[in-house]
């Protein structure tokens, strides 16, 4: 058996082409260009690279990109003050705070200070709570949104399926588990203290993995014919690796979203979709 491979690059291209048109139409109608501000503190090269990639992503669909780079010795008060300016600025629709922040900067306090209506990363508790209770408007982190979009495009039937989400972070695991639950899957969330993780994974009709341990999930952890979405991204000496052993998954799974080329590109498209949604929220008042 050889799994059907989900092509995240092609899906991302399609979503972005539609978004580009929607953003142009929105700008024409309201005279407003959806704008994303990205707050970066310090000069960590990985963070700077991520900021550049976001800038390119914005450009590709017509979103205005506002890099806000602060010195690595900025104090908590200074960073909070800059964030507050962005919160108040009517020309900024979406705000992202890039991790990791320098030591001494309290990430949690900044997230709480973020305007939930500009929280395109979906990390503010208001958005997490609204997602949990399905009370719009709310922002869902782009990665799980991308995972769901991949599954939907593949025509996956969710109702009554056993889904396992390995990983329970606020940005990947928990929101993905909720989205699957809202589609009427029976959801198990697994994590570092889960007993018999391979056995738990083998129960899954839909297996999603967001851990950050390259090729942790082996072929014999996968139920034959299952749908497998790999969210993992780890840069190794052998290049970018996901959390799922590709060879094993290709042999055993029915449908497989690999790394690279699966969830990552769709995540980029969904982030831009969130920025447009934030701009729409702003003009709606
Ligand atoms: P994170 O905050 O570090 O969370 C990792 C999760 O994996 C935690 O819940 C942790 O469990 C669990 N875990 C760690 N070791 C484990 C083990 N041996 N067995 C089972 N579970 C284990 O990471 P994250 O931000 O969610 O990111 C996860 C992965 O997704 C990373 O590779 C990241 O780069 C990638 N990612 C991809 C995208 C994308 O665009 N595709 C976006 C965001 C993140 P505990 O809670 O028990 O510690």
pLDDT of 58 higher than 90: yes
Please state the rounded mean pLDDT for residues 71-79.
97
pLDDT band at 285 (very low <50, low <70, confident <90, very high): confident
pLDDT tens by residue, 90-139: 999 999 999 999 999 999 999 999 999 999 999 999 999 999 999 999 99
pLDDT of 1 higher than 80: no
Residue 244 and residue 29: Cα distance in Å, rounded?
45
Q: Which residues, other chains included, contact 125 with Cβ-Cβ below 8 Å and sequence gap of 6+?
A: 111, 112
Q: Is 177 touching ligand 1 by the criterion CB < 6 Å?
A: no
> What mean pLDDT is reported for the chain?
97
pLDDT band at 214 (very low <50, low <70, confident <90, very high): very high
- Atom 8 of ligand 1 has which residue's CA nearest to it? 167
Q: What distance in angstroms lies between residue 169's CA and the mean position of ligand 1's atoms? A: 6
Kindly indicate whether the domain formed by 31-120 is annotated with CATH number 3.40.50.10860: yes
pLDDT tens by residue, 130-181: 999 999 999 999 999 999 999 999 999 999 999 999 999 999 999 999 999 9
Q: What distance in angstroms lies between residue 85's CA and the mean position of ligand 1's atoms? A: 32
Q: Boundaries of CATH 3.40.50.720 in the chain? A: 141-263
Q: Boundaries of CATH 3.40.50.10860 in the chain? A: 31-120
Please state the rounded mean pLDDT for residues 15-41.
98
Q: Is 212 touching ligand 1 by the criterion CB < 6 Å?
A: yes
pLDDT tens by residue, 224-254: 999 999 999 999 999 999 999 999 999 999 9
Burial class of residue 258 (count of CB atoms within 10 Å of its CB; 0-12, 13-18, 19+): buried
The domain 141-263 is placed in CATH, from the list 3.40.50.1100, 3.40.50.720, 2.70.150.10, 3.40.50.2300, at: 3.40.50.720
Q: What distance in angstroms lies between residue 254's CA and the mean position of ligand 1's atoms? A: 24
User: Quick one: CA torsion of 107, 111, 113, 115, rounded to 10 degrees?
Assistant: 150
From 173, 212, 213, mutation site for ligand 1 pocket: most ligand atoms within 8 A of C-beta? 212
Which phi and psi angles does 238 have, rounded to 5°? -95, 15
Residue 175 and residue 266: Cα distance in Å, rounded?
16
């Amino acid at each position: 058996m050889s799994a059907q491979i989900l092509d995240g690059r092609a899906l991302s291209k399609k979503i972005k082409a539609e978004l580009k048109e929607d953003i142009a139409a929105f700008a024409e109608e309201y005279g407003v260009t959806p704008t994303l501000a990205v707050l970066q503190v310090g000069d960590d090269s990985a963070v700077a690279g991520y900021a550049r990639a976001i800038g390119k992503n914005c450009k590709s669909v017509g979103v205005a990109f506002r890099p806000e780079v602060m010195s690595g010795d900025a104090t908590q008060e200074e960073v909070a003050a800059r964030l507050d300016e962005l919160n108040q600025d009517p020309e900024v629709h979406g705000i992202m705070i890039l991790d990791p922040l320098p030591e001494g900067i309290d990430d949690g306090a900044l997230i709480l200070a973020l305007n939930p209506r500009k929280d395109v990363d979906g990390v503010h508790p208001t958005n997490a709570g609204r997602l949990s209770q399905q009370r719009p408007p709310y922002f869902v982190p782009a990665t799980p949104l991308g995972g769901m979009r991949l599954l939907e495009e593949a025509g996956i039937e969710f109702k009554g399926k056993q889904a396992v989400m390995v990983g329970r972070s606020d940005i990947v695991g928990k929101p993905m588990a909720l989205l699957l639950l809202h589609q009427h899957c029976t959801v198990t969330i697994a994590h570092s203290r889960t007993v018999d993780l391979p056995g738990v994974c083998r129960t899954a009709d839909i297996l999603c993995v967001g851990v950050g341990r390259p090729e942790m999930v082996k072929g014999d952890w996968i139920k034959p014919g299952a749908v497998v979405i790999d969210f993992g991204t780890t840069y190794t000496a052998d290049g970018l690796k996901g959390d799922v052993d590709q060879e094993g998954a290709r042999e055993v799974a029915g449908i497989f979203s690999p790394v690279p080329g699966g969830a990552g590109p769709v995540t980029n498209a969904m982030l831009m979709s969130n920025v447009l949604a934030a701009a729409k929220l702003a003009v709606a008042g």
